[in-house]
Structure formats: structure tokens, C-alpha cells
Amino acid sequence: MERYVRVKKIGEGSFGKALLVKKKADGKQYVIKEIGISKMSPKERQESRREVKVLAQLKHPNIVSYQESFEENGNLYIVMDYCEAGDLYKRINGQRGIQMPEEEVLDYFVQICLGLKHVHDRKILHRDLKSQNIFLTKNGIVKLGDFGIARVLHSTVELARTAIGTPYYLSPEICENRPYNNKSDIWSLGCVLYELLTLKHAFEAGNMKNLVLKIIR
């Protein structure tokens, strides 16, 4: 971490922390994901490292690019590009109930599809597609981020589901404990499109049980 200066913490999830940092060498800003791996089993750690290698191979204009990763003090650090305009969730909330122009929604949606196609073409699943994981640059470029993090932490996935809050984007097969596949990502993609158009979640309920029932129906 000595090559980076911490600017501020920008997020926290079941995986650990997200930090905004500045690289000392060039003053450029990046996001670092700090994941506690000291409590993982050796097998899980091995898997986390392998997963990061896979993510490092994804190079596409609509995917947040990974710069590097390293381990120290029981943490795995993943360094990636910083998207200055925040995430799609923030963008949707910023509308304050006024629908976005259809051309803008279409522009975002096409870019999300292109990013997801790149991932699926490489036999990788996103597994956690939602408006909070889709980022925007100041030039209006959309970038998918935060996938694989879900895979890295598959052992804590039950925890992740409860810790992240109500999972609005779960597909019917996940609700029924069937295996995840690329179609599950497409379901989540549909939920994101619905949210872009209506500024609301496609499925909402007061509790998990009712949410699952709505999704399955």
C-alpha cells in the first residue's frame, strides 16, 4: 500500500472496504478493494487469487479495468479504475422521480449489454449485476464493476445476501436454490433496465420471503 495515498473510504460491504486512493507515482486516482482473507481457508484463498487473475484479463471499454492486486497484512488488495461520476444507482436517485430520456436509457443499456457480452463470451458470470455495480465516467461511459468479488467470496455468499440488504435482483433460480448460470445475469440485467425506465425496483417487498414469492411468480 505504500505506493498509494488513501484519500477516503467510499464504500463498505460484506467483502471489506472500498478506498479511493491516489497513486504516488503519477497522482492518478484509483479505487482499491480491501478484502480480508486471513479468515479464509487455504483453498478459498487460492480461489480468490485465481479469480483476480481472471478479472485482470478482462479488457473492454465497458468494464472497470483492474490495474493490479497484492496481498499484505492478511488482506487482498485489488486496484481498479475510478469512475468519477459514481454509480447508476446514484444517477437514478438523482432524477428525483423525473424519468430519464429514452435515448439516455438506451445508451446506458447498450453499453451495459456490451460489457456483459464480453464477460459471458469468456465464460465468466457477473453474479452481482445491480445498479450499484454499474459505474459512470464523467464522459458518460458506462462500466461494469465488482464482479468476481461475489465469486471470490462464494463461501460467504449467504452472509453477503443478508449483509448487502434486500437482494432485489435475484433471479427465480437463485430463489429456488438452483445453480447460477449466465441467464441469471440476464435476469438481473432486465431488473436494471426496469429500474432505469421507472426509477423503481422491478420487485419490492417488505421482507425477504415476500420478495422471493414475487420473483418466483
Portion of the chain with pLDDT greater than 90, in percent: 59
Average pLDDT, whole number, for the chain? Answer: 87
Dihedral pair phi/psi, residue 83, rounded to 5°: -100, 110
Residue 81 annotated in active site: no
Residue 72 clears pLDDT 80, i.e. is over it? yes
What value, to the nearest 5°, has the Cα angle with vertex 182 and ends 178 and 187? 80
CB distance 183 to 174 below 8 Å = no
Dihedral pair phi/psi, residue 24, rounded to 5°: -60, -40
pTM of the model: 0.86
Give the active site residue among 81, 107, 121, 128: 128
pLDDT of residue 110: 98
Portion of the chain with pLDDT greater than 70, in percent: 89
| Of 89-93, 119-123, 153-157, minimum mean pLDDT range | 153-157
pLDDT of residue 197: 98
What is the grid cell recorded at 198?
Answer: 421507472
Measured distance CA(8)–CA(18) in Å, rounded: 9
The SS3 assignment for 20 reads strand
Does residue 127 come out as left (phi exceeding 0), alpha (psi in the -120 to 50 range) or beta?
A: left
| Of 1-10, 16-25, 122-131, minimum mean pLDDT range | 122-131
User: How far, in Å, are 23, 43, 75, 96 from residue 16 at the CA level?
Assistant: 21, 19, 9, 30
